[in-house]
Chain A
Amino acid sequence: MKLLQNLFDGMKPNFEKGGKWEKFHTLYEGHRTIAFAPDLVTKSKGAQIKDATDLKRVMITVVIAMIPALLFGILNIGHQHFIATGGEGTFLDKAIFGALTVLPTLIVSYAVGLATEFTFCVIRNHPISEGYLVTGMLIALVMPPFIPLWQVALATVFAVVIGKEVFGGTGMNILNVAMTARAFLYFAYPAQISGDLVWTYLGDKAAVDGFSGATALAVAYNSSIDGTPVVEALTSHNAAIGADYSFMSMFMGWIPGSIGETSTLMALIGAVILVATGVASWKIIVGGFSGAYAMGLVMNALQVTNLWPCRHTTIW
């Protein structure tokens, strides 16, 4: 590793005060601290030792917790594609198809987001923070399988600038950056991020006869209008072409949806990683879900008939 250290040392004078790239010293520091934990020591007063965990390690833990959802998302996008187009696909075919669909989104999210972040760090002269490691991955996970890359880029720039940097950067933001990106797209380009047609990526093929891209929620809603029992409507949906919305497939995640959204199991694995490593608080997770569930029950109890979703009417 001496070689890499020498390489960094060789470049160092350029980034120091008076060097030709002085303005970009924050980028130099940022990259050096990724390769090497810095040789900083504690100050003379106060705690003389520090915990071995830094923010990079906390953030990478979150990234690792998202990897199951990402990998499953890649596979599922291939799976949904082959179901919808009626082709036969092996595991490998599905994985490759999914990867080719998802990776560009992921790469654009990271590249554009980091470029925006670096620009701000240089202009405002603050150190590069690790927060974007998490955000970049999250932005990809909340996107539909296929979305124009320019939209991803635009949403990422908007989210990083308006969601975070205008407030002073990581730790100062009042909005969740990834969710800001998704909200931006929902309002700016609703056609590509809502409706029944965007959750399965067909590629250049046509869908088979009898295929419907309706999401589980849409199927459940329609069943309440038709009067069919919900469970029956869900399990029979697309059953003719070999897919369904049974409890199991919804739990496993073999359903259309955003890249990292579909699999409850993978999300739970991520949650277990976060809780076991102490990065997330189980109280917040359980609190959030039980709050939503309780409110859902309240809404359900107040429902007269066919009032779902409640935006149609209010009863008070």
Chain B
Amino acid sequence: MTKIVKLKKGFDLKLVGKAPLEFLQVVAATTFAIKPSDFPGIQRPKVLVNEGDTVKAGSPILMDKAMDQVIYASPVSGEIVEIKRGDKRKLLEIKILADTTVTHEKFGALDLGQDRATLVEKLAASGVWPNVIQRPYGIVANPADNPKAIFVSGFDTHPLAPEVPFLLQGDERYFQAGIDALAKLTTGKVHLNVDGSKAVPAIFSGIKNAQINQFSGPHPAGNVGTQIHHLDPINKGDIAWTVAPYGVVQIGKFVLEGIYDASKVIVLAGSELTQKGYVKTYTGANVSTFLGDSRQAENLRIIAGNILTGEKVDAQGYLGFYHNQVTVIPEGKYEEFLGWLKPSATKLSFHKAIGMFSFLKSGEFKVDTNTHGEERPFVVTGVFEKVMPMDILPTYLFKAIVTEDFDEMEELGLYEVIEEDVALCEFVDPSKNELQELVRHGIELLMYN
């Protein structure tokens, strides 16, 4: 039943600053935050705690009034120290000061023999549910839906991304339990997609209740959106769910132990970090203790998440719910004399236009945040099509979103993509458009109209 897919289109960004496969000893983070902005589909966030309350790991602290069965839980036990609001009292983040030892809410182990409705209800109330993402739209899944299949991507091809098997080591039992639980939630299959260019890692090879598929090729071969497109594409009216491997483990821990365990392994990478490697922490951790000596340096871009889809945070910022990576690179606020004309073999480029010789260099590239040019209107260069391993026409899809043409957006495949699927397009675009933002805008148009 294994499906083997070899992809040619795409682009691997080989960057300086890859983390070695070893654990670092760092001072544990003490504050953690949950931000509604981590969950794109959240509509009317409501805080369930007050400043000064004490919570346990798994205590409900946030919900969406538009989908009230799903609970967003506290990742650690401790005290709610701040509920930060912005303009018009918009909820920005809920900060928690962690206890030295984390205590958990006890839900009791989950019997997978129960009927689906009860299982869903318990999962939704436990804090693990936001790991389940709905396609189309890339939003937290609605427990009331019945997805046609569930997809798990077992590898990450983003630049400087963590090695997934290394993140999950020791969690084999939980991973299997998580897959078992997911298999109960769909009438279709659970697809577990692994890196076809390597031997199947031990944690995935003996897995039951899931179909293992192999994907090989450059990034975005590891993106779950690419994989869905080649396994069971999403048409209008279809609903599929995706869960990241870490989410599967978290669900498995809830099934076996009856707790919401937000401990996770993340990777610290990027050219400007003095200490690179893997650390154990919890969801929503404050990033400052991870930065080591780099904390004081000027002109750094600290990114929660990876370089293509992540988010800039300051040295006191927090990891997002789905992030398993902190990347630090230099800021690029400088002018370069005739920068658009100068030949270079050291500046990373997908293009081979006059003077761009980076395709001749085989090593790793050091990158910064300079845009290398101003924003311009779309010019049809055909470059998006070269990095998009899906049978869709990205240029025309983007134009349809710009002109807010609903029929075209649907027909050109907006149901199949979310931000991460067009991140490479955004990187290679010579017109420097914000394509991830554009795709989210298009998705919101489809969702709310």
Contact = CB atoms under 8 A, between A and B. Distances in A.
Interface of A: 1, 4-5, 29, 33-58, 60-61, 64, 127, 129-131, 168-172, 276-279, 281
A167 to B, nearest CB: 11
Interface stretch (B27-35, B118-126, B304-312): B304-312
Contacts of B336: 36-37
Contacts of A171: 376-379, 431
A37 B373 contact: yes
B334 interface: yes
A44 B309 CA distance: 10
Closest 9 CB pairs between A and B? A37-B339, A54-B373, A171-B377, A52-B347, A44-B312, A36-B335, A56-B340, A53-B351, A46-B436
Contacts of B370: 37, 39-41, 50
A279 B373 contact: no
A58 B349 CA distance: 12
Interface in B344-376: 344, 347-356, 358, 367-376
Interface string B412-448: 0000000100010011111110111100000000000
Nearest to B11: A51
Contacts of B356: 52-53, 57
Contact of B353 (A35, A170, A277): A277
A63 to B, nearest CB: 9
B108 interface: no
Given A49-B368, A58-B381, A277 B352 contact: yes
B369 A41 contact: yes
B348 A52 contact: yes
Secondary structure at chain B's binding surface: helix, strand, loop or mixed?
loop
6 contacts: A38-B371, A50-B429, A54-B432, A55-B431, A171-B376, A281-B382
Interface string B326-337: 010101111111
Given A49-B13, A50-B427, A56-B340, 19 more contacts: A5-B335, A36-B339, A39-B332, A41-B301, A42-B369, A44-B312, A48-B369, A49-B348, A50-B432, A51-B348, A51-B350, A52-B349, A52-B358, A52-B372, A54-B373, A55-B430, A129-B376, A129-B377, A170-B376
B195 to A, nearest CB: 23
Contact of A278 (B301, B351, B369, B419): B351
B428 A51 contact: yes
Nearest to A41: B369
A179 B135 CA distance: 45
A1 B373 CA distance: 19
B325 to A, nearest CB: 12
Interface residues of B, number: 63
A118 to B, nearest CB: 16
A57 B354 contact: yes
B359 to A, nearest CB: 9
B117 interface: no
B199 interface: no
A46 B369 contact: no
Contacts of B297: none
B429 A51 contact: yes
Contacts, number: 185
Contacts of A64: 354
Contacts of B426: 46-47, 50
A277 B434 CA distance: 25
Nearest to B423: A47
- Determine which residue in A1, A38, A51, A281 has the highest number of CB atoms from chain B within 10 A of its CB, and name it: A51
A45 B38 CA distance: 11
B202 interface: no
Given A37-B340, A58-B379, A279-B381, A53 B335 contact: no
B240 interface: no
Contact of B373 (A38, A41, A46, A131): A38
B379 A52 contact: no
Contacts of B374: 29, 33, 38, 40, 54, 127
A130 B427 CA distance: 20
B1 interface: no
Contact of A276 (B335, B352, B436): B352
Interface in B177-227: none
B93 to A, nearest CB: 15
B338 interface: yes
B335 A37 contact: yes
Contacts of A129: 376-377
Interface in B289-311: 301, 303, 307-311
B310 A48 contact: yes
Given A48-B312, A50-B432, A55 B373 contact: yes
Given A41-B331, A48-B307, A61 B353 contact: yes
B144 interface: no
A52 B344 contact: yes
A143 B346 CA distance: 41
A278 B353 contact: yes
A50 B13 CA distance: 11
Contacts of B335: 5, 36-39
Contacts of A5: 335
Given A40-B374, A55-B430, A48 B354 contact: no
Contacts of B423: 46-47
A4 B375 CA distance: 23
Nearest to B373: A54
A55 B310 CA distance: 25
A49 B369 contact: yes
Given A48-B308, A48-B310, A53-B430, A35 B338 contact: yes
A46 B339 contact: no
Contacts of A44: 311-312
A129 B375 CA distance: 10
Contacts of B375: 127
Contact of A39 (B333, B349, B383): B333
A43 B332 CA distance: 12
Contacts of A4: 337
Given A48-B307, A169-B377, A277-B354, A54 B340 contact: yes
B351 A58 contact: yes
A170 B337 contact: no
Contacts of A279: 353, 381
Contacts of A35: 337-338
Contacts of A33: 340, 373-374
A131 B338 CA distance: 18
